[in-house]
Amino acid sequence: MRIKSRNTTAAALVAALALFAGACGDSKDSGDNASTGTDSETKTTAPASDACRTLEYEDAPEGGTLEDYAQLSSAGDNTSFDPGAVQTLDESQVTTALFDGLTDFDFTDTCNPTIEPLVAEKWEANDDATEYTFTIKKDQVFSNGEPVLPSSFKRGWERSGSAELASSYGYLLAYVKDGDKLLDGSMTTLDSIVADDDAMTLKVTLADSNADFPAIVSFPAFSPITKEDFTRVGNTTGWGTKGVTIGNGPFKLESAESPDTGTVVLVRNDTWAGNIFGDKKAKLDKIVFHLTSEVEASFQAFEAGEGDTATIPSGQFGPAMEQYPNTVDSAMLGTYFFDFGHDDSNVGGEKNVKLRAAISMAIDRDEINAKVYEGTRFISTGITPPGIPGFESNLCKYCAYDPTEAKKLFKEWEADGGKIEGDIKISINSGGGHEDVAAIIQNNVKDTLGISLKIDAIEEDYFKVIAKEGACQICRSGWYADYPTYGNFMVDLFGAVSIDGNNLGRYDDEKFESLIADAQKETDDTKRGELYASAEKRLLNETVNAIPINWYTGDHVYRDSVVNYVQPPLGIFLWEKVGKNG
């Protein structure tokens, strides 16, 4: 899942003014720890110890209203929080408060998440992981009183994959047999999904073996939907009540104004069946999600006493972290990296492996973290972050900043006949500090290897533009896990099946494909993790087709009165646990 690029035309100047204002404020505002610059402390590697944590929740008081300014603070990009159509992590915060799926993850030990049945009572798979039977708990109801049945899931899944809905995540239904026909509109219902409401079972036949399927169905696109909503909106969607809103989660929708202004108000759903931790009732009476046009404006409102939560704008982490409780130390299952164009004549192909390794080793990731992210992120040693089952620390051979080794590799590449013709583009989507990252890489590569990179900032529809054939030479990518599986990084970001989509560099390697295919079939968790890790080694150490930069961390502040505002690794809050004192 991608996150929105939170930047505006005024952002840079406003951030500078904020720093100025901070310096001019009282002693609480100022302080010696500069929020930018190379002196900032950075989180260099050691992820296994730093990124892993134990999530702790206290018994929050009941009642109260949470005024949230953090989740929908870039409102111009909102399109829908309908589970079938939701695209961004921010909008998913609303969706997951409204809907519960078949399974969920317990992230108490963040580096060892366990999958648990949620609306499902249990599931069974056949030996080659091509057929799954989910048994649904009885007596669960939606907030409108309709029972949650296997057919509620079938209805929701087929809608998510329908050609008419054209959901960004509809492709997940291609894991189900004939799901591709649902996507292209040649089928509208799937015989491969059999809902037996009497037996309370949902039997699913997959297109191919996939041992991660129980994890995949935890994603909102696999939520159940009511007859009432489906009758009302069918396979169309939009913001608020233009889409599906009646859920079975801890909250229900009270009101939603337009997608770029006003509020989305949720109130406690008293018919909720509970979560995997045994909670049966949400603590808060109400959550008001405020839609704001930019992060800077909502953070300023927070500083002026409005609301209970906010997102920290770029450039203001230092003073914000000093003043308010925050989630900045929360490691997320998110990764920031650059792809190499697999078929690009200048940087792609087998003949340029050493060039790519040299470029990767010429990049000072600590400098990027200090100057752009104020030392808040974890320097990555691979694409896949800690917390994903099968994760291996220090997996990447060419990710450490080593100018001497980089020069050596570059000379070897030249000696083998390597020569750069024309410019090499480093493509980024405008905003979000990506220009600054690209500029540091540009300088690093020039200083170490003498290669000139040309920054190519793309304003709109970056991920669509750059995914097209021939568009990526070196191009930025970033990813938040949809569910904590290794496959969600390897298959979705580098699998041939994701070419034209999230595989921006159009990486297509026979050995890598064979490894991820074997991993998908493998039902033993440890062996599956090892196979995926082997695939990542192939990607990073043998073919060198990506440059890991850092792993994401949280970026929210909240009031002292807010309880259990704990950001799990997927970034989605457990809203039912959040409470408020006073």
Partner 1 sequence: MTTFIVRRLVSLLLTLLGGFTVLFILFFALPGDPAELMAGGGNKNPSPAVVAAIREKFHLNDSVAEQYVRRLGETVTLSGTSYQTKEPVRDVVAERLPNSLRLAVWAIAIEITVGVGFGVLSARRRNSFADYASTLSAVVMSAIPVFVLAYLLKQVTGVYAFQHNWPDALRLPPIGIGPKEWYLGFIPSLEQLKYLIQPAIILASVSTAIVARLTRTTVLEASTMDHVRTARSKGLRDGEVTRRHILRNALIPVVTFLGIDFGTLVGFAVLTETVFDWPGLGSKVARAASTGDLPVVLALSMVVMLVYGLANLIVDVSYAWLDPRIRRNGGAR
Per CB under 8 A, residues contacting partner 1 are: 1-2, 8, 10, 13-14, 17, 21, 25-26, 28, 76, 78-79, 85, 87-88, 163-164, 166-171, 183-186, 236-239, 242, 258-262, 290, 292-294, 297-298, 300-301, 303-306, 459-461, 463-464, 467-468, 498, 500-502
- Nearest residue (CB) to partner 1, 18 versus 363: 18
Cβ 345 to partner 1 shortest distance, Å: 23
Three-state DSSP state, 563 = strand
Task: Please say whether the beta carbons of 458 and 466 come within 8 A.
Answer: yes
Instruction: Give the C-alpha separation, 280 to 126, whole Å.
Output: 33
**Residue number with CB closer to partner 1 (330 or 427):** 427
Shorter beta-carbon distance to partner 1: residue 128 or 461: 461
Distance in Å, CB of 321 to partner 1, minimum: 17
Nearest CA to 388 out of 532, 566, 539 is that of 532
Pick 186 or 393: Cβ nearer partner 1: 186
Question: CB–CB of 192/177 below 8 Å?
Answer: yes
Rounded to whole angstroms, how far apart are CA atoms 313 and 437?
16
Q: Which is nearer to partner 1, 371 or 476 (CB)?
A: 476
Where helices occur in 112-248 by DSSP H, the ranges are: 150-160, 179-184, 213-216, 227-233
- Residue whose C-alpha is closest to residue 568's, from 105, 107, 117: 107
Q: Of 242 and 286, which has the nearer Cβ to partner 1? A: 242
Q: Look at the block and give the residue holding tokens 């296994």.
A: 48
Nearest distance from C-beta of residue 23 to partner 1, angstroms: 13
Pick 146 or 294: Cβ nearer partner 1? 294
Instruction: Report the DSSP beta bridge partners of residue 117.
Output: 103
The amino acid at 284: L
Q: What are phi and psi of 448, to 5 degrees?
A: -85, -45
CB of 413 to partner 1, least distance (A): 33
Query: Is the separation of the CB atoms in 119 and 248 below 8 Å?
Result: yes
Nearer of residues 310 and 441 to partner 1, judged by Cβ: 310
Q: Please answer whether residues 541 and 560 qualify as being in contact, where contact means their C-beta atoms are separated by less than 8 angstroms.
A: no
Q: What is the 3-state secondary structure (H, E, C) of 259-299?
A: CCCCEEEEEECCCCCCCCCCCCCCCCCEEEEECCCCHHHHH
Q: Which residues contact 468 (CB under 8 A, 6 or more apart)?
A: 500
Minimum Å distance from CB 193 to partner 1?
Answer: 20
Q: Which is nearer to partner 1, 81 or 551 (CB)?
A: 81
Q: Provide Rg for the chain, Cα atoms.
A: 24
Q: Which residues pair with 553 in a beta bridge?
A: 331
Q: Name the minimum Å distance from CB 211 to partner 1.
A: 23
CB-wise, 109 or 461, nearer to partner 1? 461
Structure tokens at 119: 């609306």
Buried b (16+ CB within 10 A) or exposed e, 185-216: eebeebebbebeeeebbbbbbbeebbbbbbbb
Q: In this structure, are residues 342 and 506 in contact, taking their beta carbons and an 8 Å threshold?
A: yes
Strands (DSSP E) contained in 410-522 are: 424-429, 453-458, 474-480
* First-last CA distance in the chain: 36
Which ranges in 32-186 belong to alpha helices (H)? 47-50, 89-98, 150-160, 179-184
CB-CB contact of 580 with 286 (8 Å): no
Q: Which two tokens stand for residue 100?
A: 């519960």
Closest separation in Å from C-beta 291 to partner 1: 8
Q: How far apart are CA 388 and CA 115, in angstroms?
A: 12
Whichever of 73 and 330 has its CB closer to partner 1, that residue is 73
Phi-psi region of 376 (alpha: psi -120 to 50; beta: other; left: phi over 0): alpha
Length of the chain: 582
In this structure, the strands spanning 65-69 and 309-311 are parallel
Min dist. Cβ of residue 527 to partner 1 (A): 29
Q: Which helix (H) or strand (E) holds 187?
A: none
Which is nearer to partner 1, 283 or 290 (by Cβ)? 290
Complex with partner 1: residue 137 or 232, whichever CB lies closer = 232
Cβ distance to partner 1 smaller for residue 77 or 196: 77
